[in-house]
Structure formats: structure tokens, C-alpha cells
């Protein structure tokens, strides 16, 4: 595989463009991402990225308390400087993702000359990286080459383990270019499809030497095998499976739609499909059907997306759903939904639902890589699944119609994206991430029953620090202005089942990473509320013994809210959060590993003005999980 790129930087823009790429056996230019994303471009950050994992840098601040260094050698240069050779490895019984290797330091600027590093944990990726730096003037050093050797230990050929070898050289380095910022893409990576003749011409011009007979024969031989064995088709199959779909003729089958479970529906069986991009890349059609064996109800829906401009992700969309939606749920349209594989379990226990027929349509566009805008119109009819009833001066009933015009945005200023032949692809999820949605409900549009304004906001922040692990913060705020039933009000993300026994509520329950574990479902109802959730994942900082590396996590959660006219909501808990709700807990995760699933236990306590009379009822003890991939 050969890749030629050009990188331009004028802050805040930083773009690497793939000028040419050729991979034996494949025509897909997306393989260029393997080269550009394999390791961090600089070894001066607190954490070094290697093949998607983050490792604490041995030269980060305070690293002498975490790493053990030995001066192995010193070499005097012709200019009178000294190059010190230091080996490094993590100190005994440390619980962080560590590297081991050798680094050479120049005494003139105490700058890195070259280094060799690999993950210290034997269970980690068997990869060794190397980087070289060169002096480009007073106190100015810049990388000139990157290398990586990866042992493919999952593959055995005649009892031998093959290796993947990467060599990357930087040429024509200009540290003071005259660049026009507007000519540099806002995306971090740009990949374009080019014809074979242009690719060969560029590679020949920059390669520096002709391919030898072995290398040339490799292209010819692997290309012929690929054509005979359908390598390209099999690659597309793996990519589709990784997205959670199985390709079937002209459609992809959604694996997550086949079997589901929650306490209201029981087992939910169904199927969801969408048309494949290789059949029609500018139009996507989808449909699904499901049946709940406990509520004995059919659910179904369909959708379409018409792509107007690929790399702006400018699309027109529409969808219809006849399904159940959580009453008083926090539901910003378009927000990235969490799955069970992201440790989102509260949906298993949600009790209060609305049968809903929803018709929605609009347009989305990304005017900038880190900003997504949406305009939409929506009409829905909701019928409560239980005996809830809403009474006001103009309304008395349990079935409601809502008509809305809405606008929303998602802003993630630090996320990194690639502009590719198949559209915009997220390279790295970085924080903060902000989601804001505004809806205007109208009682004179399409038969709507209520007139109101509804605003929802969610901010997510995540940070990895040297000494304290990972900090996660989620802020939610929402408000409804106008008289509406519970379907459009808010209840915080609770996760404590309403059963007669405290033991029954805990045994068999699974903690959710973004919920109030001691708050009962539908215990509180608010027309305006704000909640803050803070989680500190210390990972294995305090304890690691071989493969046993449990994670200690501390959580604190708080919520405030209000509710006007609670007497209008019958047969549903209508207490508000004006006095505040407070909860803290400790989780001991990764106590036991089952393949990719790590199981632990969490203990949570409810305190403050909304504390329950029996102190035992303020505790929640639950299983916790943390997927280990």
C-alpha cells in the first residue's frame, strides 16, 4: 500500500489531503486513513494515540512518578552537544495505559531526536512505533519520519506470525509557508477518488525510486487474487457488519431491530431494513416492523433521506413512525442515540409510554464540519398507555395531537472529520459537544391541540487527565412555556424500578451510566428542569495486578425543576424538583471479564430534601457493566 499526502496548517485549520493512494487487491481509497490515523503526529502531548488507544506519554508532566527511566548511553556530537539515550518503562503496580521503549534527547534544546515505543501491557496491541525529528533552526524541531511494525498475531501461516510494516517519510517541509487560510479545508483529512494513471504518475514522482520486481509483482499478484476472490465485496461486507447491518440483496438488515426487550413490551421481535449505498448512493429508503409480545401491539414505520450535496451532508428527510415513545422523555431529535453497547440500560425498565403516530420531515445541513443544522415540521398523535389524564380549561382527555415547527443544532468544535468519496466521516469524537433544539407547538396547524414553546439543551464534556483518569460531565436543561400534558413535559433520566420490594428493585437491575439510579420512574414531573451529572473514572490508577485491573468510578448527580398546575395531571406522579435532587455513588467496574463485557457493582445514595423517610430506601445497589473494547 502506498499513500502520498500533503498537509497544510494555518491555525485553526489543519488539513491533510490524500493526493494518491494505491493498495494491492483493493480500489477503495479509504485505506489511506490507516496511514494517517495510526499514530499521533507529535510525541509532545500528554497522551499518545496509537491505533485508536490512548497511552500516557512518558515525557508528560509528572511522569517520573509513573515511569522508571535509565540513562543507557550518551553520545557527543560534532557540534559539542550530547545526545542522551534513556530507556523507560512503567513503575511497578501502576494502573494506567503505559508505553515502554527508548528515547534519545538532544542537550541543546532538550528536544526529542528519535524514539521507539510500544504498549507495556502484554495484552495490548502488539505494535512498535518509531519517530524521528530534525532541527530546522534555533529551538525548532520537526518530525521527519514515522514507522510502525504490527504483529498480526490473529493470523498464523505455517506456524509463523506475519507483520504489517509501515514507513512514512515527510518531505518538502516548509515551516513558514505563505498560505491562504480560506484555501485550506476545515476537515482534518480529505480523500478524493482519482484515476489510476494520475495516481501512478504522482506515486512515481514522489517515491524516489522505482518499485523493485518483488513489489511490482505483489501488486499484480494480489490484484488478480482480489478479483478472483471478491476482496472488495468482502471488505464492504465487513464495513456493513461493523455498522450493525447485514447486507441482503438490495438492502441492509438492521441487527438491532431483530430482538429487543423492555418491561412494557416484553420481547419485541421485528426487522428493519434500509437500501444500500452501492445501489443508490444519493437516496436512502428505510422501513421497519416490530411486535411486542407483552403489550400485543404492532409497531412500524418508514423513512427516506435524499442527499443534495454529499460533503455538506445536505439532505432532505422524512419519516413516519407508529410506535411507543417515553412519556415526558428528553428527546432532542437527531441526537446520537445510545445503544446497549454504550451501557444505556434504563430503557429496559421504562414504565410510562405513549402510543404515537408521528409524521416528521425537514432538511439537515453541515455548513461547517463541526456544525449541524436542522429545520423540521412534525405532527403526532399520542395516546397514553395507562390511566393518565390531562385536564385544563380547554381540554379533558388522554389522547393528544401536537403540531410543531422546529430548529436544532449540534456543535462539536473539537471533533475531527474526513471528507471522503462516501461523504463526511467522523475521525475522532472529541468534546465538548452541544445540542440545542427549539420547537413551536401550534394549535392552529394541522389540527394541533396545544400552543407552546419547547426548548431542550444538552452539553457533554469529557477529559482525560494524567493523574485522575477520565472526567465526564453532562448538563441538561429544558423548558416548556405553555399548558401541555405530560407527553411534552420532562422527567429526569431515572433508573429505579417501581416494585414493592427494595431487594427486587435492585436484584436484576443494571446501572445506567447517565441516569439517577435512586430516582423512581415517573417520580417527578417538570415543565422546566436542569440536571448535572459528573462521573470520575479513575480507571486502574489505584490498583492493577496483572490482568486484574478493576476500575473505580465516582458519580455525583443533581437536578432542579418546577411544575405549574400539578393538579391538571391525574394518575401520574406530579411532584416537581423545586427542592432539588441529590445522588452520589461509587462503582467498582471490571471486576469480572466475560469476553468483551466487564461486570462490576455500583452503590448509590440519595440525600437532601427529597430523601426518603426509610434510610434503607435511599440506597441502590446494582450490577454495573463496562464494555472492554
Q: For residues 466 and 462, give the distance between their C-alpha atoms in angstroms, rounded to a whole number.
A: 14
Report residue 123's pLDDT band, with 50, 70 and 90 as the boundaries: low
Q: What is the pLDDT of residue 87?
A: 97
Please report the sign of the dihedral spanned by the C-alpha atoms of residue 323, residue 475, residue 582, residue 390: negative
Q: What is the pLDDT of residue 336?
A: 64
For residues 363-374, give the mean pLDDT: 94
pTM beyond 0.85: the answer is yes
Which 8-state DSSP code applies to residue 39? B
427 vs 285: which has the higher pLDDT: 285
> Which tens digits make up the pLDDT trace of 100-110?
999 999 998 99
Average pLDDT value over all residues in the chain:
89
Q: Which three cell numbers stand for residue 395?
A: 381540554
Report residue 31's pLDDT band, with 50, 70 and 90 as the boundaries: confident
Burial of 413-441, coded b for 16+ CB within 10 Å and e otherwise, reads: eebbbbbbebbbeeeeeebbbbbbbebeb
Q: What is the pLDDT of residue 56?
A: 92
Q: For residues 624 and 620, give the distance between their C-alpha atoms in angstroms, rounded to a whole number.
A: 12
For residues 553-574, give the mean pLDDT: 92
What are the helix (H) ranges across 453-521?
502-506
Write the burial class of residue 81 (CB in 10 Å: 0-12 exposed, 13-18 middle, 19+ buried).
middle
Q: What is the pLDDT of residue 629?
A: 46
What are the helix (H) ranges across 436-569?
502-506
Lowest-confidence region among 121-135, 250-264, 329-343, 451-465: 329-343
Residue 478 confidence (pLDDT) above 50: yes
- 620 strand-pairing partners: 604
- Listed as own residue / partner, the contacts of 236-245 with beta carbons closer than 8 Å and 24 or more positions apart are 236/278, 240/276, 245/274
Task: Give one word for 159, left, alpha or beta, with left for phi > 0 and alpha for psi -120 to 50.
Answer: left
29 vs 532: which has the higher pLDDT: 532
> Phi/psi at 301 (nearest 5 deg)?
180, 170
158 vs 301: which has the higher pLDDT: 301
Burial of 195-209, coded b for 16+ CB within 10 Å and e otherwise, reads: eeeebeebbeeeeee
Q: For residues 359 and 356, give the distance between their C-alpha atoms in angstroms, rounded to a whole number.
A: 10
> Which tens digits make up the pLDDT trace of 231-286?
777 777 777 777 778 888 889 999 889 999 988 999 999 999 999 887 788 899 99
**Separation of CA 617 from chain center:** 35
Q: What is the pLDDT of residue 337?
A: 59
Pair 476, 435: CB distance under 8 Å: no
Q: What is the pLDDT of residue 590?
A: 85
Where in the chain are the domains? 2-208, 296-627
> Phi/psi at 228 (nearest 5 deg)?
-75, -35
> Which tens digits make up the pLDDT trace of 174-221?
999 999 988 899 899 998 888 888 988 999 889 877 888 998 898 888
Q: What is the pLDDT of residue 449?
A: 92
> Which tens digits make up the pLDDT trace of 321-365?
999 999 999 989 877 655 444 557 888 889 889 999 999 999 999
Q: What is the pLDDT of residue 342?
A: 52
Q: For residues 605 and 617, give the distance between their C-alpha atoms in angstroms, rounded to a whole number.
A: 9
Three-state DSSP at 29 gives: helix
CATH of domain 296-627: 2.40.160.50
Residue 27 confidence (pLDDT) above 90: no
Burial of 499-533, coded b for 16+ CB within 10 Å and e otherwise, reads: eeeeeebbeebbbbbbbbbbbbbbbbbbbbbbbeb
Q: For residues 223 and 229, give the distance between their C-alpha atoms in angstroms, rounded to a whole number.
A: 10
Which 8-state DSSP code applies to residue 1? -
Amino acid at each position: 500500500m502506498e499513500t502520498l499526502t500533503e498537509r497544510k496548517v494555518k491555525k485553526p485549520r489543519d488539513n491533510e489531503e490524500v493526493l494518491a493512494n494505491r493498495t494491492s487487491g483493493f480500489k477503495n481509497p479509504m485505506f489511506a486513513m490507516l496511514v494517517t490515523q495510526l499514530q499521533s503526529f507529535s510525541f509532545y502531548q500528554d497522551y499518545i494515540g496509537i491505533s485508536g488507544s490512548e497511552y500516557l506519554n512518558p515525557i508528560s508532566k509528572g511522569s517520573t512518578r509513573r515511569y522508571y527511566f535509565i540513562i543507557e548511553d550518551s553520545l557527543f556530537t560534532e557540534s559539542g552537544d550530547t545526545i542522551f539515550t534513556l530507556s523507560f518503562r512503567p513503575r511497578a503496580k501502576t494502573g494506567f495505559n503505559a508505553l515502554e521503549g527508548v528515547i534519545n534527547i538532544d542537550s541543546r534544546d532538550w528536544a526529542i531526536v528519535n524514539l521507539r515505543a510500544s504498549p507495556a501491557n502484554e495484552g495490548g496491541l502488539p505494535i512498535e512505533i518509531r519517530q524521528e525529528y530534525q532541527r530546522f533552526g534555533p529551538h525548532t524541531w520537526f518530525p521527519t519520519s514515522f514507522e510502525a511494525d504490527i504483529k498480526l498475531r490473529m493470523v498464523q501461516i505455517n506456524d509463523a506470525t506475519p507483520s504489517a510494516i509501515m514507513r512514512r517519510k515527510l518531505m518538502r517541509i516548509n515551516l513558514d509557508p505563505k498560505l491562504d487560510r480560506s484555501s485550506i479545508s476545515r476537515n482534518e483529512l480529505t480523500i478524493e477518488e482519482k484515476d489510476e494513471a494520475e495516481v501512478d504518475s504522482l506515486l512515481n514522482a514522489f517515491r524516489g525510486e522505482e518499485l523493485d520486481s518483488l513489489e511490482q509483482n505483489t501488486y499484480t499478484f494480489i490484484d488478480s487474487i482480489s478479483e478472483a476472490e471478491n476482496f472488495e465485496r468482502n471488505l464492504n461486507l465487513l464495513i456493513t457488519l461493523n455498522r450493525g447491518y447485514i447486507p441482503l440483496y438490495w438492502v441492509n438488515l438492521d441487527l438491532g431491530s431483530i430482538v429487543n426487550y423492555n418491561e412494557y413490551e416484553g420481547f419485541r421481535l421485528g426487522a428493519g431494513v434500509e437500501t444500500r449505498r452501492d445501489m443508490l448512493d444519493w437516496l436512502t429508503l428505510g422501513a421497519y416492523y416490530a411486535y411486542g409480545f407483552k403489550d400485543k401491539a404492532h409497531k412500524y414505520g418508514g423513512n427516506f433521506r435524499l442527499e443534495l450535496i454529499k460533503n455538506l451532508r445536505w439532505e432532505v428527510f422524512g419519516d413516519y413512525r407508529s410506535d411507543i415513545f417515553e412519556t415526558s422523555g428528553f428527546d432532542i431529535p437527531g441526537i446520537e442515540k445510545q445503544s446497549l453497547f454504550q451501557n444505556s440500560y434504563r430503557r429496559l425498565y421504562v414504565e410510562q409510554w405513549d402510543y404515537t403516530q408521528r409524521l416528521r420531515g425537514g432538511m439537515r445541513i453541515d455548513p461547517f464540519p463541526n456544525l449541524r443544522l436542522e429545520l423540521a415540521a412534525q405532527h403526532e398523535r399520542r395516546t397514553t398507555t395507562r390511566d393518565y389524564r390531562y385536564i385544563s380549561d380547554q381540554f379533558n382527555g388522554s389522547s393528544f395531537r401536537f403540531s410543531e415547527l422546529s430548529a436544532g443544532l449540534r456543535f462539536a468544535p473539537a471533533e475531527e472529520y474526513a471528507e471522503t468519496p462516501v461523504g463526511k466521516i467522523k475521525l475522532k469524537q472529541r468534546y465538548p459537544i452541544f445540542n440545542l433544539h427549539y420547537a413551536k407547538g401550534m394549535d392552529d396547524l394541522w389540527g394541533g391541540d396545544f400552543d407552546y414553546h419547547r426548548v431542550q439543551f444538552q452539553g457533554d464534556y469529557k477529559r482525560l487527565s494524567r493523574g485522575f483518569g477520565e472526567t465526564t460531565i453532562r448538563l441538561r436543561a429544558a423548558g416548556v412555556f405553555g399548558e401541555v400534558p405530560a407527553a411534552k413535559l420532562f422527567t429526569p433520566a431515572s433508573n429505579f424500578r417501581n416494585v414493592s420490594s427494595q431487594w427486587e428493585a435492585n436484584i436484576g437491575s443494571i446501572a445506567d451510566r447517565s441516569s439517577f439510579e435512586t430516582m423512581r420512574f415517573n417520580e417527578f414531573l417538570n415543565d422546566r428542569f436542569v440536571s448535572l451529572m459528573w462521573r470520575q473514572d479513575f480507571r486502574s490508577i489505584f490498583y492493577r495486578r496483572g490482568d486484574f485491573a478493576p476500575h473505580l468510578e465516582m458519580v455525583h448527580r443533581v437536578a432542579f425543576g418546577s411544575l405549574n398546575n400539578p393538579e391538571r395531571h391525574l394518575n401520574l406522579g406530579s411532584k416537581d424538583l423545586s427542592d432539588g435532587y441529590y445522588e452520589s455513588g461509587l462503582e467498582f467496574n471490571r471486576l469480572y471479564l466475560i469476553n468483551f463485557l466487564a461486570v462490576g457493582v455500583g452503590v448509590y445514595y440519595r440525600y437532601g430534601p427529597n430523601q426518603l423517610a426509610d434510610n434503607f430506601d435511599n440506597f441502590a445497589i446494582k450490577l454495573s457493566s463496562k464494555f472492554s473494547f
